């Protein structure tokens, strides 16, 4: 489903962002 694909892309982009953007550590 599109939602699952969007979630996968979001997770990938979030994980590849600098750690400071996670709001933790």
To 10 degrees, the CA torsion angle through 14, 19, 21, 23? 110
| Distance, CA of 21 to CA of 2 (rounded, Å) | 25
16 is written with which tokens?
A: 């590849």
Q: What is the pLDDT of residue 4?
A: 92
Q: What is the pLDDT of residue 22?
A: 62
17 is written with which tokens?
A: 């962002």
5 is written with which tokens?
A: 């694909």
Q: What is the pLDDT of residue 21?
A: 61
Q: What is the pLDDT of residue 16?
A: 82
What are the tens digits of pLDDT across the range 1-25? Answer: 678 988 899 888 888 876 666 666 5
**Taking a C-beta distance cutoff of 8 angstroms, is the pair 14, 20 a contact?**
no
């Amino acid at each position: 489903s599109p939602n699952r694909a969007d979630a996968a892309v979001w997770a990938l982009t979030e994980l590849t962002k600098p750690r400071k953007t996670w709001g933790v550590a």
